[in-house]
Structure 1
Amino acid sequence: MRHRNKTVKLQRDAAHRRSLLANLTCSLIEHGKIRTTLAKAKALRPVAEKMVTLGKRGDLHARRQAVAFLRQKDVVKTLFEEIAPAAADRQGGYCRITKLGARQSDSAPMAIIEWVDTPAAAAVSSEEAADA
């Protein structure tokens, strides 16, 4: 029985799955939104939100934990300096998944995963509020 076993395996062994999720998280932090399959987006969301929670903590131990998982110091710097402060007032739910439909080649369900509070979107909305 699979009681309380939430891990989505994505047809990969543990090391490959961990690397995949780390790379997807790095891409999401770098680009702000990524287009991937729905299953990968759903598996990525809890991992990305845990990284934002580490960024909101902001201490040295949290930064080292993020570097240990993501393995890219420049991405961790972006996470701690841009993304986490943009989500500072939010209690959770930092990511949004939007379904796109089936992929042409193999009919895999596709989705876009993006940050709810992006620094660029926050700057645009504050400029619009200042103009009004």
Structure 2
Amino acid sequence: MRHGKKFNHLGRTASHRKAMLSNMAASLILHKRINTTVAKAKALRTYIEPLLTKSKEDTTHNRRIVFSYLQNKEAVTELFRTIATKISLRNGGYCRIIKTGFRLGDGADTALIELVDFNETYNLGESNKKVTRRSRRSTKKSDTIESIVDTVVNESSEVQSDNKSVETKE
């Protein structure tokens, strides 16, 4: 009987579940976001959050503990070098689960799980400014326009002065 045991077994044996969560955690660390089912995403969140907390303090002991869970050297170095520096000020809640609908093949409820500090989607609107290049041609045009305006103004002032001189002679 499994009274009082709230852990989701995901329909797998303990060894298969451990290997799957280890591989999913390594993929999440390397790619910063992965698509999976909602149940696996929730299980992965409980699996990876303590590892992310351990990565804040870079000691040999913590590296060995995290490696015993992940079994992937590239993921461990990525975790302790880049991810730990970004999440150092956050006190938990390092992962975000976004439900993405149902899978076509079997109708499973799918989700996107991502690291909170590595979301480019929400920062796209703020950082993308249109970059305009100014060419020399536009400055030359403005110089020629200014010179044309100066000549027109000079001619009009000469015409006005001629009109005044004509009026005084009469």
Give the aligned partner of residue 49 of structure 1.
Answer: 49
Aligned length: 123
Tell me how far 1:74 sits from its aligned partner.
Answer: 1.2
- Unaligned stretches of 5+ residues in structure 2: 128-170
Amino acid in structure 2 at the alignment position of 1:84: A
- Unaligned stretches of 5+ residues in structure 1: none
Measure the CA separation in 1 of the matches of 2:46 and 2:24: 12
Cα root mean square deviation, aligned: 1.7
Kindly indicate whether structure 1 or structure 2 has the higher relative contact order, using CA contacts under 8 Å at least 6 residues apart. 1
Measure the CA separation in 1 of the matches of 2:93 and 2:81: 19
Give the aligned partner of residue 63 of structure 2.
Answer: 63
Give the aligned partner of residue 86 of structure 2.
Answer: 86
Tell me how far 1:58 sits from its aligned partner.
Answer: 1.6
Which protein shows a greater Rg? 2
1:27-54 per-residue CA deviation (whole Å, 9 max, x = no partner) reads 0001010000111001000111111111
TM-score by length of 2: 0.68
| Aligned-partner SS, 2:69 | helix
Measure the CA separation in 2 of the matches of 1:8 and 1:52: 21
Amino acid in structure 1 at the alignment position of 2:117: D
Amino acid in structure 2 at the alignment position of 1:88: S
Measure the CA separation in 2 of the matches of 1:84 and 1:51: 10
What percentage of residue pairs aligned between the two structures are identical?
Answer: 43
Tell me how far 1:6 sits from its aligned partner.
Answer: 2.9
